[in-house]
Structure 1
Amino acid sequence: MFRSNFDALNPLNNPLLQDPDAAAATTGLTRADRIVHKWWIHHFKKVPFPTKKVPLNLNVLPSLTKLGTERRTLNHNTINNHNHDLIKENVRVESIKNHIYADGDTWGYYPGVAVFMVWNSPPWMFTVRHQRGLESLLFRHPDACVVVFSETVELDFFSGGFVKDGYKVAVAMPNLDELLKDTPAHVFSNVWFEWRKTEFYSTHYSELIRLAALYKYGGIYLDSDIIVLKPILFLNNSVGTEDQGSGSALNGAVMAFQRHSLFIKECLEEFYQTYDDTSLRGNGADLLTRVARKYLGDESKSVELLELNVEPSYVFFPISSQNIARYFIAPATETEKAQQDLLLEKILHNSLTFHFWNSLTFSLIPEPDSLVSRLLNYACIRCLELL
């Protein structure tokens, strides 16, 4: 008679499901693979291995997207109720018949040209510079549909200001399973609860969301600390270099791409293949730079497939991150004022956007008559008001 040994069949004893932090068990695996390993270990520990023979019922396995912390999502009913309220308030929206949902049916309404942003800080950190950035966009493009992806603010965050004034600004809590569906980076939706515990999750989440949104829908992505100086909706398959000192390094604070862009698809592939949860820039600006160099150097692609417009630094980032802090200070002499006047004129003539480099300047308050203060109020709508 054969003797069964269920311990030998325990999936936790499979060498591929051992501790993902043990080098011997995961040699040659990417960090994304290691995250998947952690999920499987978490799953099998959560569901005890049976001590007697039982039939395997796949229907009782938990849904991957429902494990971990409960997530607030913008679903079909939320959108319908939200749009019903907007229509009652006579906000300029397109016919409900023209809704476009992320998976083709259940969520995501982006009438006209979509402009995407991501906000993962607390609501109280949405300061005047961020409000002015949004105002500058709507000042140039009052009919733009702005979608702010966020895990931290309520869906009606902008209803008392911009929406009440007739602008199409909405907060959406993305369902990663739907947003990343059919992309190379879909694995991150399955391990969201584990991924969010990593040190740079908020930054990496923003970098992945912007790539996925541009790939799925097409449109423009803007960082929340970008001031729009001129119309930008004409941009197509465009990304900008960061500054003259960093050579050809790219920065994703401003991006405009067509739906299903091959370049963005390769960025999503690179995000999965090389993901490093310990690197602040490795999955963002550095990733864009790596992919662009490989992408533009691939002789196997036709000219049509290689469509990528790399803008010089002055177009999106006229002042570098190394120099930005000094322009929060008002000029002390007539000579300094003349220099800043000349620089302002040059920026307004040559640049489409201005970047505050908020990660470096979040604690700085621009002095009156400083260059930053003048740019903040250059294209405002609620110029003397805060949300």
Structure 2
Amino acid sequence: MAVKRVVSPEIFGYRLVSRAKSPVISIILLALLIFFMFADSLISSMSLPSAAFTEKEDSEVLQTPKVIRKIKSDVPSVPLNVSKQKKIIQVDSDNQNSLVISSSGVREERRIGRFRRKLPEFEIFRSDDLTKRFHGRVLKFFNQECDIQFFMTWISSAGSFGRREIVAVESVFKAHPHGCLMILSRTMNSKQGYRILKPLLDRGFKVLATTPDLPFLLKNTPGKAWFDEMKSGKKDPGEIPLAQNLSNLIRLAVLYKYGGVYLDTDFIVLKSFKGLKNTIGAQSIDVVSKNWTRLNNAVLVFDMNHPLLFKFMEEFALTFDGNKWGHNGPYMVSRVVRRVEGRPGYNFTILPPMAFYPVDWIKIGSLFKMPKDRAGSRWVEAKLHQLNGQTYGVHLWNKQSSKLMVEEGSVMGRLMSEHCLLCKHIYSS
């Protein structure tokens, strides 16, 4: 076997020097030898810390995979079948749902607790001499040769019954000089409320604010059990103001008990309702099929004891949700009518949006703006012609328009001016 000889640089350099004949060449070769030896030593010393850093870095990078591999090695490497995967997902979903339900349950309990503490402040639940007189006052009031009987509700303070509401009341009597209007309201059944209505009373119009007797109104109706639960503080009122939902129920109960026309206080009447009977209005329709897509309860015209009103109250009580706007109002009447429409025993008429809701709530602001140019003026005239010809009244969507000023020359300004009686401060409402 041949042996390979390794010659060190020192020996190789010595041989070169010893073989050199010229002293100059010897010096050059010696210098080169010293340089190579110094460079080799320097490179060796620099490579040590570099190697140490690289080793540490590699160790840190590799450490995580090692841990991961350790975790994985503890779990059997058997793939989950679909049923097991579904079970795991279902467990996670159940846990998440239970957290949501638990959280909503806590919120509900807190709301009920707050509501129970504030119950004494809700005068609408109180029974006293005013509520005891309710039924007698209703019978006496409507026994005045009323052409048609109207109802409104007002659960806010008397001081907040402003110009917009006054114009709505005036428009009722402009179209029905011999009609009777009852406002169901404890706050308006007061000296302040009387002062607000006195200008109309002085002119001979029949308007009365009276405190409703809710237990009496709801007796023998599906709304009675709901009201008793709410009054006892056992039911969650939800986040929506309770006054709004009480108004939704009261209007149904008072029409069921006495019959007539219910109007929201943000509704401007344009012409007589005398020809209407058992009527509800569509808020929107499908542009292709022309079928209604949503109804609204801001205007209701029904005979007493009408079965549809009973169904409305039943739906209200069974599906009440105080956290969804409109759920117990427009959406509620839409749900019920969709189920009973066409069934025998329910005789009622659904009018198109032009009857009561000619302008959608999103676009109601356009009626409050004065025209800016000739084209705008023509649009105002065309809109007024359309409304006065086809519309019983205009719902103002007060939630959307209450802060809008009525600008002079606007559609709304013209409507209010033409259908008011006292016609005070139209453009400051």
2:315 is aligned, of 262, 266, 270, to 270
Write the letter of the residue equivalent to 1:221: Y
1:352 is aligned, of 379, 392, 414, to 392
TM-score, length-scaled by structure 1: 0.71
Q: CA shift at 1:309, angstroms?
A: 0.3
Identity of aligned residues (%): 27
Whether 1:313 and 2:353 are equivalent positions in the alignment is: yes
Asked if the contact 2:134/2:213 (under 8 Å) is kept, the reply is no
Deviates more, 1:108-117 or 1:172-181: 108-117
2:260 is aligned, of 215, 219, 228, to 219
Give the 3-state SS of the residue equivalent to 1:248 in structure 2.
strand
Measured in 1, the distance between the counterparts of 2:335 and 2:237 equals: 26
Write the letter of the residue equivalent to 2:251: R
Asked if the contact 1:136/1:379 (under 8 Å) is kept, the reply is yes
Partner of 1:286: 331
Partner of 2:248: 207
Deviates more, 1:167-176 or 1:244-253: 244-253
Partner of 1:232: 273
Measured in 2, the distance between the counterparts of 1:193 and 1:150 equals: 21
Measured in 1, the distance between the counterparts of 2:319 and 2:274 equals: 32
- Judged with a 3 Å threshold, the aligned counterparts in structure 2 of structure 1 residues 289 and 123 are, in CA distance, closer, same or farther, namely same
Q: CA shift at 1:74, angstroms?
A: 3.0
Bigger share in helix: 2
Asked if the contact 1:236/1:256 (under 8 Å) is kept, the reply is yes
Asked if the contact 1:229/1:353 (under 8 Å) is kept, the reply is yes
Measured in 2, the distance between the counterparts of 1:72 and 1:227 equals: 34
Asked if the contact 1:238/1:256 (under 8 Å) is kept, the reply is yes
Whether 1:180 and 2:218 are equivalent positions in the alignment is: yes
Partner of 1:335: 375
Deviations 1:72-123 (A, max 9, x none): 563456888xx8xxxxxxxxxxxxxxx73xxxxxxx7433332110112222
Whether 1:74 and 2:130 are equivalent positions in the alignment is: yes
Deviates more, 1:176-185 or 1:289-298: 289-298
Whether 1:250 and 2:290 are equivalent positions in the alignment is: no
Measured in 2, the distance between the counterparts of 1:135 and 1:309 equals: 27
Deviations 1:117-170 (A, max 9, x none): 011222232222211111111111122221111243334514522222222111
Partner of 1:18: none
Asked if the contact 1:69/1:193 (under 8 Å) is kept, the reply is no
Asked if the contact 1:225/1:356 (under 8 Å) is kept, the reply is yes
Measured in 2, the distance between the counterparts of 1:322 and 1:241 equals: 16
Write the letter of the residue equivalent to 1:258: D
Q: CA shift at 1:211, angstroms?
A: 0.5
Asked if the contact 2:152/2:264 (under 8 Å) is kept, the reply is yes
Measured in 1, the distance between the counterparts of 2:282 and 2:209 equals: 29
Q: CA shift at 1:193, angstroms?
A: 5.7
- Judged with a 3 Å threshold, the aligned counterparts in structure 2 of structure 1 residues 331 and 67 are, in CA distance, closer, same or farther, namely closer
Measured in 1, the distance between the counterparts of 2:188 and 2:151 equals: 15
2:181 is aligned, of 134, 146, 153, to 146
- Judged with a 3 Å threshold, the aligned counterparts in structure 2 of structure 1 residues 77 and 126 are, in CA distance, closer, same or farther, namely closer
Unaligned runs of 5+ residues in structure 2 are 1-96, 117-121
Asked if the contact 1:220/1:233 (under 8 Å) is kept, the reply is no
- Judged with a 3 Å threshold, the aligned counterparts in structure 2 of structure 1 residues 216 and 233 are, in CA distance, closer, same or farther, namely same
Measured in 2, the distance between the counterparts of 1:193 and 1:238 equals: 35
Measured in 2, the distance between the counterparts of 1:307 and 1:166 equals: 36
Q: CA shift at 1:208, angstroms?
A: 0.2
- Judged with a 3 Å threshold, the aligned counterparts in structure 2 of structure 1 residues 210 and 203 are, in CA distance, closer, same or farther, namely same
TM-score, length-scaled by structure 2: 0.64
Larger Rg over CA atoms? 2
- Judged with a 3 Å threshold, the aligned counterparts in structure 2 of structure 1 residues 67 and 269 are, in CA distance, closer, same or farther, namely same
Measured in 1, the distance between the counterparts of 2:133 and 2:367 equals: 47
- Judged with a 3 Å threshold, the aligned counterparts in structure 2 of structure 1 residues 163 and 266 are, in CA distance, closer, same or farther, namely same
Aligned residues: 302
- Judged with a 3 Å threshold, the aligned counterparts in structure 2 of structure 1 residues 161 and 230 are, in CA distance, closer, same or farther, namely same
Write the letter of the residue equivalent to 1:189: F
